[in-house]
Structure 1
Amino acid sequence: MRSQDWFSNNKGCNDEGDPQVVFNVLDAMLNGSLERLKSMREGISSIKAGLIGRVMNVSCAGYIAIIRDLCLVGKLGAALWLRRKMVQKGFVPDVITHNYLVNGLCKTGDLGSADWLIREMLEMGPSPNCATYNTFIKGYCLINDVDKALFIFATMNNNGIRPNRVTFNILVHALCKRGLLENAKKLLSEILEDDDEKKRSDLITSTILMDGCIKNGDIVQAFGIWDTMSQKNTLMDAIAYNVLIHGLCLTENMKLAYSYSCEMLKRGLLPDIFTYNTLISGLCKAGKLYEACHIHDVMLRMGVAPDHISYKILIQGLCAQGDVFRANDYLHCMLKKSMVPEPQVWNLIINGYGRCGDPDNAFAIRGQMMSFGVLPNVFTYNALIHAHVKVQNIVGANSLKKEMVCHGLFPDVVTYNLLISAACNEGRIHFALHLYNEMLGRGYEPDMITYTELIKGHCVMGKMNEAANLFSKLQNSGLAVDHVPFQILIKKYCIMRETDRAFDLYQKWLTRKNVGNDFERLTRKNVGNDFEPCI
């Protein structure tokens, strides 16, 4: 249009025009269009490159986040596959992401893959840091391969990485677990000489070392470490006190454990749930259930809420001493606080009622257990069967065995031992043998209690040949035989006035290593008494 206007204004051309002029105009127009097209293409290319770079950066960050999430949920195969795809595209994840991968591999015990990954980091990048090696060392300590952990510790300096106090603490803890306390002390001295946070690392590592001494039964050395920390005016924390109180409770030195818990309060350190649970456990083991229950009340007054472990320890201790009614009270305390106990706690109370010969309350607890959504297991049924056996209700006990099968649970050796014992006590030796054969048919191996109950049942019925055959089977079974079957047979032979056979059994018992005096003591103790083997 411009060229047409230009020619139309040129009066001398008479629409014929000059060909050279027309060519020059068209050439200029074409060059201008090509320049504009070139600049447009360059602009589009730069914008596209910028967009691609930004998209790649965003996708790379997303891949890294996905890798870390996969490691946290244990899907390490997918995480390693995604890392490999990133490396193939030229994007290497950072050291933190690699640490996630190393940590996940070490937790699953795949130390070979973790070693391969660290070697690849050393070759391709990013370079491992101290946290990488700490995780790797801890992985070997978890599988109790302390020698390999120490080897990795020795190679850290070769790779230009300086161990920190976390490294030393991991190794000190591993050495203490293996009982290598002297080696742990050497590492402790290295920490104290080389650590900037001397007081803090002294407390942490000394606490680990003290815990190791306690677990190895050396409470004296643990006190020595405690005294050393006190002389250095180390500011103790609640963890250090809990470790010491735990050691004192293990040695049943409850007075001293109380005194250190009081010292915590004087220093402004409030005892936590671990402190109270340790005291409750120590008191229950020492048979001081009244004091243990008092600690529970103290916890409530101090604002520390008892947890599942607190109630489990109390219920277990009370049931062991036969105070099942008080144990049931603590069960109700748990339920009021919306704390549904695990099956073991319910089974403890059911078994407690069963041993007291109270099947009604035992079944009531079973019903309550099911109402809270906790399904009975084999131990629950064994406790209920024991309750029926205590009141000599063998029919009810056997019906529970059938009920187990209907609920998809299979009787175990304890179930059969309880039923065989009940049958033998009632003189139903044929039913006891039927249970014995059924037990063998299910693939269970009889234990010493099974043989002892059957020997006792045959002795009661006067079938001494069958009892002697069972005793021979027991001796040839490879099981550890105690004094009970010997005593049952000897007592029966003495009643039958077959003193020669009784004396032969007595001689066999004496030939067993270090049992003669024990047998004589038990025989004199049980003369004239009816013997009832415990299950």
Structure 2
Amino acid sequence: MALCISFGESSTTTVSAHVLLLRFFDKTIESFKYNVGNLFFSILPCEPTSDLNARRTGGQGMDAVIGDGFSNDKQCDGRGGDPLVFNILDSMLKGSLERLKSMRESIYLVKNGVTGHVLDVNYGGTEAIRDLCLEGKLGPALWLRSKMIQKGFVPDVLTHNYMVNGLCEMRELEKADWLIREMQEKGPSPNCATYNAFIKGYCLHNKVDKALYLFSSMANSGIKPNRVTFNTLVHALCKRGLVTDAKKLLGEILDDDEKATSNVITSTILMDGCIKSGDIDQALGIWDSLFEESTPVDVISYNVLIRGFCLAREMKLAYSYSCQMLKRGLLPDVFTYNTLVSSLCKSGKFDEACYIHGVMLRMGVAPDGISYKAIIQGLCVCGDVYKANGYLNFMLEESMIPEPLVWNLIIDGYGRRGDLGNAFAIRDHMLSFGVVPNVFTYNALIHAQVKIGNVFDAYVLKKEMLLKGLFPDVVTYNLLIGAACNAGHIRFALQLYDEMLRGGYKPDMITYTALIRGYCIKDYVKEAEELLFKLKNSGLPIDHVPFQIIMKQYCRMKEPDMAFQLYQKWLAGNKDFPI
């Protein structure tokens, strides 16, 4: 029955299947009755063999009923036979009766299925729809729903909520709206969870106006919003910077009892909105009101407040509230420590960041990829690449394979120090852990080669990129063009420039500045000025660097008049060149 409904077979096919199944059960029962009758005769006191065989076996003898083993080993002696035989037959009889009971129950279900009263099929269909929704297969789920409705089975509201939530997550808001209208017309009636899923879908896709309209329509449908509804709308409004509107909304829709019992989730959302809008004082006011109302706070609330202090560069207050967490019996989690570490690294306090990392380990909180990434990035920025490499080794010891960005930071750090050996060793180490180098990896290696003047080796790396299926970007060409110009190879730089144009890349101000410097090194000042005009006509923003390069070259050539003319063009500003 379930298979027929699932695959949408016709009612005629379903009834035929039922008839065939009933015929099969009838034959099985008849065969069972015959065998049970034989078993009963086998345990009765013996009659004359000829009469018994003639009456039950048609002259074939007892062997045809209970087998050669029983008939040959034990002969009837008028006392009913051996007890072992009776025990075995008794067990067989009990098992046969249990099977008969199961078959009768199956026949009952099939007969009910013919009359349309099977609840198991409806239950199986709803479970299938929910599983399909969890797997993201909304199309088959909606198809199965329509087939169930055609058969007279309407899925419950929970199953419909699965479909509404899945459609909203897949940005199918129009289909979700259609499904809710179907629920209102054909049943089951939507409940608060249905509207919450739809409101959340609108908020996730930044359609707060429609979410608010849907919220207002809940009252018309006789459905009272709950805390989930409020929190979803408040969070959406706070994300848009409308903290005041969020508070006003709460004041309008919450009654006095609900206002008196403030919810920690709602307060946390409001604090986060205030912090993101830069109003730390208002966030502290909400925090104080939580304690005045004796509302129990959690780790998430503390994390939001600590993050606000870190954004405001109030590290002393951040440390203070971290200690307050411990006094209240709340252990800081990895998000707490990551907030502190990231803020310290942004402030250039790398020693303190490393100390907090050590505190994490002593407190039994395992650092994650964000913790290590913040410290490694900070150490590489300040030039301590060797210490950053140590933290990379810590990650690998903990079986944490970093993302390519972390490897690239260390490769670039070694390259800036001119340590090509370690830079390429990190690249090889990266490959050994199955991390594939990307364009940024090769750009870091090219920059390392360029820094020590190895223009040819840098160009070889660019060819290696192409062999690996990676395409150079504007940064790659800028590095190579700049290196060629600094080495006095202006023709090679122009070849790279032409290759860049043929590849569809758009040169930027760095490209033109490098070429202007290359022309000036070769004393091609007129070509440099022409390129400067080309840069001006390209519409790219221009700073003082290309002008300064040409002016210095005129001064070195002892042509102050030409330098003064260029200076007048520079002063002209908006007339000839933008400043």
TM-score (norm 2): 0.78
Trace 1:274-289 onto structure 2 (pairs within 5 A): 274-289=335-350
**Residue 165 of structure 1 contacts residue 195 of structure 1 at CA under 8 Å; is this kept in 2?**
no
1:421 corresponding residue in structure 2: 482
**Residue 354 of structure 1 contacts residue 362 of structure 1 at CA under 8 Å; is this kept in 2?**
yes
Task: Give the residue type in structure 2 aligned to 1:108.
Answer: M
Query: Separation in 2 of the partners of 1:258 and 1:97?
Result: 47
How far is the alpha carbon of 1:492 from its aligned partner?
2.0
- Seen in structure 2, the aligned counterparts of structure 1 residues 199 and 320 have a Cα distance that, compared at 3 Å, is farther
Q: Secondary structure at the match of 2:378?
A: helix
Q: Secondary structure at the match of 2:206?
A: coil
From 182, 198, 215, give the equivalent of 1:136: 198
Query: Separation in 2 of the partners of 1:44 and 1:136?
Result: 42
1:96 corresponding residue in structure 2: 158
**Residue 279 of structure 1 contacts residue 292 of structure 1 at CA under 8 Å; is this kept in 2?**
yes
2:125 corresponding residue in structure 1: 63
**Residue 451 of structure 1 contacts residue 470 of structure 1 at CA under 8 Å; is this kept in 2?**
yes
How far is the alpha carbon of 1:73 from its aligned partner?
2.1
Residue 460, structure 1, aligned to residue 521, structure 2: yes
Query: Separation in 2 of the partners of 1:440 and 1:55?
Result: 74
Residue 218, structure 1, aligned to residue 295, structure 2: no
Residue 182, structure 1, aligned to residue 244, structure 2: yes
Residues 152-161 or 69-78, more deviating: 69-78
Residues 340-349 or 500-509, more deviating: 500-509
Query: Separation in 2 of the partners of 1:131 and 1:507?
Result: 71
Q: How many residues align?
A: 472
Query: Separation in 1 of the partners of 2:409 and 2:358?
Result: 22
**Residue 273 of structure 1 contacts residue 305 of structure 1 at CA under 8 Å; is this kept in 2?**
yes
1:522 corresponding residue in structure 2: none
2:90 corresponding residue in structure 1: none
Q: Secondary structure at the match of 1:278?
A: helix
- Seen in structure 2, the aligned counterparts of structure 1 residues 414 and 47 have a Cα distance that, compared at 3 Å, is closer
Task: Give the residue type in structure 2 aligned to 1:358.
Answer: D
1:166 corresponding residue in structure 2: 228
Query: Separation in 2 of the partners of 1:286 and 1:297?
Result: 19
How far is the alpha carbon of 1:196 from its aligned partner?
4.6
Residue 479, structure 1, aligned to residue 540, structure 2: yes
How far is the alpha carbon of 1:194 from its aligned partner?
5.3
2:184 corresponding residue in structure 1: 122
Task: Give the residue type in structure 1 aligned to 2:515.
Answer: L
Task: Give the residue type in structure 1 aligned to 2:372.
Answer: Y
- The gaps in structure 2 that reach 5 residues or longer are 1-104
1:32 corresponding residue in structure 2: none
- The gaps in structure 1 that reach 5 residues or longer are 1-42, 520-535
Task: Give the residue type in structure 2 aligned to 1:388.
Answer: Q
1:320 corresponding residue in structure 2: 381
**Residue 112 of structure 2 contacts residue 118 of structure 2 at CA under 8 Å; is this kept in 1?**
no
Q: Deviations over 1:69-118 (max 9, x none)?
A: 22222222222222222222221211111111111111121111111111
Residue 358, structure 1, aligned to residue 436, structure 2: no
Q: Deviations over 1:18-71 (max 9, x none)?
A: xxxxxxxxxxxxxxxxxxxxxxxxx99976422557995333323222222222
**Residue 315 of structure 1 contacts residue 330 of structure 1 at CA under 8 Å; is this kept in 2?**
yes
How far is the alpha carbon of 1:361 from its aligned partner?
0.5
How far is the alpha carbon of 1:511 from its aligned partner?
5.2
1:9 corresponding residue in structure 2: none
Q: Secondary structure at the match of 2:255?
A: helix
Q: Secondary structure at the match of 1:351?
A: helix
Residue 269, structure 1, aligned to residue 355, structure 2: no
**Residue 188 of structure 1 contacts residue 206 of structure 1 at CA under 8 Å; is this kept in 2?**
no
2:370 corresponding residue in structure 1: 309
Residue 384, structure 1, aligned to residue 435, structure 2: no
- Seen in structure 2, the aligned counterparts of structure 1 residues 196 and 224 have a Cα distance that, compared at 3 Å, is closer
Residues 500-509 or 137-146, more deviating: 500-509
Task: Give the residue type in structure 1 aligned to 2:363.
Answer: M
TM-score (norm 1): 0.84
- Seen in structure 2, the aligned counterparts of structure 1 residues 254 and 149 have a Cα distance that, compared at 3 Å, is same
1:247 corresponding residue in structure 2: 308
Residue 491, structure 1, aligned to residue 556, structure 2: no
Task: Give the residue type in structure 2 aligned to 1:204.
Answer: I
- Seen in structure 2, the aligned counterparts of structure 1 residues 118 and 231 have a Cα distance that, compared at 3 Å, is same
1:375 corresponding residue in structure 2: 436
1:11 corresponding residue in structure 2: none
1:258 corresponding residue in structure 2: 319
Residues 121-130 or 472-481, more deviating: 472-481
**Residue 109 of structure 2 contacts residue 118 of structure 2 at CA under 8 Å; is this kept in 1?**
no
Query: Separation in 1 of the partners of 2:215 and 2:133?
Result: 25
How far is the alpha carbon of 1:473 from its aligned partner?
1.7
- Seen in structure 2, the aligned counterparts of structure 1 residues 432 and 55 have a Cα distance that, compared at 3 Å, is farther
- Seen in structure 2, the aligned counterparts of structure 1 residues 346 and 465 have a Cα distance that, compared at 3 Å, is same
**Residue 490 of structure 1 contacts residue 505 of structure 1 at CA under 8 Å; is this kept in 2?**
yes
Query: Separation in 1 of the partners of 2:554 and 2:493?
Result: 22
Task: Give the residue type in structure 2 aligned to 1:249.
Answer: C
Residues 499-508 or 120-129, more deviating: 499-508
Give the share of equivalent positions with the same residue, in percent. 67
Q: Deviations over 1:229-270 (max 9, x none)?
A: 333333222111111111111122211111111111111111
Task: Give the residue type in structure 1 aligned to 2:199.
Answer: I
Query: Separation in 1 of the partners of 2:572 and 2:275?
Result: 40
Q: Deviations over 1:160-190 (max 9, x none)?
A: 1111111111111111111112111112334
Query: Separation in 2 of the partners of 1:277 and 1:408?
Result: 36
Query: Separation in 2 of the partners of 1:372 and 1:45?
Result: 61
**Residue 413 of structure 1 contacts residue 446 of structure 1 at CA under 8 Å; is this kept in 2?**
yes
Residue 75, structure 1, aligned to residue 134, structure 2: no
Please report the RMSD computed on the Cα atoms of aligned residues, expressed in angstroms.
2.2
Query: Separation in 1 of the partners of 2:465 and 2:391?
Result: 28
Query: Separation in 1 of the partners of 2:572 and 2:144?
Result: 69
- Seen in structure 2, the aligned counterparts of structure 1 residues 57 and 508 have a Cα distance that, compared at 3 Å, is farther
Query: Separation in 2 of the partners of 1:81 and 1:145?
Result: 28
Query: Separation in 2 of the partners of 1:243 and 1:44?
Result: 59
Q: Secondary structure at the match of 2:463?
A: helix
Query: Separation in 2 of the partners of 1:312 and 1:44?
Result: 62
Task: Give the residue type in structure 2 aligned to 1:68.
Answer: R
**Residue 165 of structure 1 contacts residue 191 of structure 1 at CA under 8 Å; is this kept in 2?**
no
Query: Separation in 1 of the partners of 2:205 and 2:174?
Result: 13
How far is the alpha carbon of 1:493 from its aligned partner?
2.6
Q: Deviations over 1:173-230 (max 9, x none)?
A: 11111111211111233465356595451x2112111111111222232223223333
Task: Give the residue type in structure 1 aligned to 2:298.
Answer: D
1:33 corresponding residue in structure 2: none
Q: Secondary structure at the match of 1:156?
A: helix
- Seen in structure 2, the aligned counterparts of structure 1 residues 425 and 75 have a Cα distance that, compared at 3 Å, is same
- Seen in structure 2, the aligned counterparts of structure 1 residues 53 and 475 have a Cα distance that, compared at 3 Å, is farther
Query: Separation in 2 of the partners of 1:498 and 1:219?
Result: 60
Trace 1:185-200 onto structure 2 (pairs within 5 A): 185-190=247-252, 193=255, 196=258, 199=261
